[in-house]
Amino acid sequence: MRKCAIAAASVACIAGSSFAGVIGPDVIVGSLPNLQRFGNVGQITGYSIATTSCNIGDQILNWNPNTNIHPVISQSISRVGPAGDNGTKIEMLGISWLKHGFCALQGTVCGSCQPAGGGCPPRLGIGCSDPYSSGLNGQQSNLGLPADVNAHTGFYSMPFTGVNQSGNQIFKRIQVDANLLDPGQNPGATYWGAGQYVQSEDSSFGNQDNNASHRQILVSSGSVNSGYNLLFTGSTVREEPVIFAWETVDNSVTIIPVDVPETATAGDNNGRVYFAYDVSQNNDGTWHYEYAMNNVSSDNRIRGFRIPGLDIADMMNIEFTDVDYHSGSPISNTDWNTNASTSDDFEIRGPSFGSNPNANSLWWGRLYRIGFDSPNAPEMVTAQLRTFKSNELLDVSVMAPQSANVCLGDCDGSGTVDFNDLVAMLFEFGSADDGACNADLTGRVDFNDLVAALFLFGPCP
């Protein structure tokens, strides 16, 4: 699988990989057959996505509607579109409450099936699949509050919050602002639907990291005032969360798996986040930086992103896009902000768990992005994700603007721009990723950089 190639060597990324020698029950999304559009409230449209689950493990998976041993299903819609002059970004546009499963048919979408009973029993047999139509996944009385479910263990209490509650056409469903789907306002955008299953047995056998899949969506017809019809196209990309759609559209995107520990001291693996970045150059020679994070099977969660050594004064057009909670969810929608940044370290973050347990943090199934421009050329740096519950910093190697104290023209890092740097520049001539040698901050090292270096001659500022 593609994601294995980019994962750290120790990452077990094959579906059904062993856990203490046992596979156990392992539920994945085998296919995303269709979408349904409900009505609008203002210009917000309600949608649901059909999901067919498969048990690719070697034990029966329980699906008991009366206990908390049944899957909950999250659905979302995302967009990949232009960013800066020459780059791309991914944003999640809307996410549903969680559909609570009640029984499982025993189908063969993922291959041969050993049925765990006749009809629709409260369990899914080995190898078997179970279809949930878009109607069922949009059925309001069976949609529960996302914040009730522990992202890592799959635990929740019964009866779940929201059971038997119905509302208007968009209540608890995926909610998308029609302006974000309007082809006229979104040239070059592609759309992606995703579904994910969470169930506690799957989790207790360590199989929780492969339960999301995504598929491309076409905007077929409609208007901003009436809402748009959406259709799936292409095939379901199994066991990959939607952040991988960004890489599908733009092959310069880099995706990194980050394992989130339970606590600072224990270090137990409490799930995974995918972190992705992309850098492109704007037409005026500045750079556009894009970051996204997705796929938290982590209850610890993420509440911030930090680039040590980067002065916020070297950044322009800072943007943050989360995906709003709705229908009475207690989780705050207040955006992360950059107030904690200093001239030495950039940070965008939300409040701590200590100050507000319902503060805006990255729950499982969701995707957040951060974008900005900078005159500073890119280099590999150690950036950090800040965890919500344990408030610790997790290192992640990404491309980011060279720190403010990079001395342009000082190729050899001597602290002075001098004759040796001109010589070093000649050796770097024509190279694209040139750090401090890129004295004029544009394109490749060329004659203009030599001229710029002459103007910078002398001690670094």
Ligand X SMILES: *[C@@H]1O[C@H](CO)[C@@H](O)[C@H](O)[C@H]1NC(C)=O
Contacting positions for ligand X (CB under 6 A): 3, 7, 11, 13, 85-86, 151-154, 159, 163-164, 196, 198-200, 202-203, 208-212, 239-241, 257, 271-272, 281, 283, 295, 297, 337, 339, 364-365
Report in angstroms the alpha-carbon separations of 249 from 89, 232, 237, 244, 282.
Answer: 10, 16, 14, 9, 19
Q: Which is nearer to ligand X, 412 or 446 (CB)?
A: 446
Residue pair 329/147 in contact by the 8 Å Cβ criterion: yes
Residue pair 127/56 in contact by the 8 Å Cβ criterion: yes
Q: Which is nearer to ligand X, 86 or 233 (CB)?
A: 86
Question: Given its phi and psi angles, is residue 222 left (phi above 0), alpha (psi -120 to 50 degrees) or beta?
Answer: left
What whole-number distance in Å separates Cα of residue 302 and Cα of residue 272? 10
- Nearest CA to 11 out of 259, 226, 241 is that of 259
Residue pair 425/438 in contact by the 8 Å Cβ criterion: no
User: Shortest distance, CB of residue 297 to ligand X, whole angstroms?
Assistant: 3
The residues that bridge with 55 in the sheet, in sequence order, are 27
The residues that bridge with 373 in the sheet, in sequence order, are 288, 316
Q: Which is nearer to ligand X, 209 or 449 (CB)?
A: 209
User: Shortest distance, CB of residue 283 to ligand X, whole angstroms?
Assistant: 5
User: Shortest distance, CB of residue 333 to ligand X, whole angstroms?
Assistant: 14
> How far apart are the two ends of the chain, measured CA to CA in Å?
48
Q: Is 290 helix (H, G, I), strand (E, B) or coil?
A: strand
Q: Is 87 helix (H, G, I), strand (E, B) or coil?
A: strand
* Residue indicated by tokens 């369990």: 123
User: Shortest distance, CB of residue 229 to ligand X, whole angstroms?
Assistant: 27
User: Shortest distance, CB of residue 275 to ligand X, whole angstroms?
Assistant: 11
User: Shortest distance, CB of residue 196 to ligand X, whole angstroms?
Assistant: 5
Query: Rg for the chain (alpha carbons), in Å?
Result: 24
User: Shortest distance, CB of residue 208 to ligand X, whole angstroms?
Assistant: 3
Q: Which is nearer to ligand X, 85 or 344 (CB)?
A: 85
Q: Which is nearer to ligand X, 17 or 263 (CB)?
A: 17
Backbone dihedral angles phi then psi of residue 134, each to the nearest 5 degrees: -65, -30
Q: Which is nearer to ligand X, 146 or 222 (CB)?
A: 146
Residue count (the chain): 461
Q: Which is nearer to ligand X, 151 or 407 (CB)?
A: 151
Q: Which is nearer to ligand X, 198 or 370 (CB)?
A: 198
User: Shortest distance, CB of residue 284 to ligand X, whole angstroms?
Assistant: 9
